[in-house]
Amino acid sequence: MELDGAPGKVLAPPGQGMRAALAAIDVARCDIAAIACGLLAEALDVALGYARDRRAFGQRVLDLQGIQWALADLATDLEAGRLLTRRAAELLGTPGGPVAVAHAKRFCPDAALRGAIACSEVLGAYGWLHDFPLARFIALAKMLQVVDGTTEVQRIVIARELVRRAEGLGTG
């Protein structure tokens, strides 16, 4: 086989193909974390709008402390996910990139799934109707946990770094 002009089209130097492929996977994983954050943000907005407008027990659902606490926890998860994703994006292509990406990819889809489920519960039975996107968000969040490396794969990446760190510590 002859490849005319192939050297001008090489994506990575010879022997560096695997490294280039893994770098591309890290970009995709960072994208998945960002998508999960967007999903969680939208689920939270749906729940907030519903809880603001719906009345139960003589008050707005949004004024019920249990609902407020659940939504506050989701807001914290969203903020944490955004920070992890931003750090992962900043570290792409650096030695710390793969582990930062693994943290974001492990946390964000899990937070999105927890959030979509919690938000659907704020809506009660309405959370499962086609008029609201939350049932679809739950399915999408579950898919995000799996695509481009499962949560367990991300734990392996993080754990390997922890082992390296532990081996570098002095003895006490």
d(CA 60, CA 43): 19
CATH number of 20-166: 1.20.140.10
Token pair belonging to 36: 């999960």
Tens-level pLDDT at each residue, the chain (172 residues): 666 766 666 666 777 677 777 778 999 999 999 999 999 999 999 999 999 999 999 999 999 999 999 999 999 999 999 999 999 999 999 999 999 999 999 999 999 999 999 999 999 998 888 788 999 999 999 999 999 999 999 999 999 999 999 999 877 6
Can you give the residue ranges of every domain in the chain? 20-166
- What angle in degrees, to the nearest 10, is found between the helix axes of 151-168 and 97-122? 140
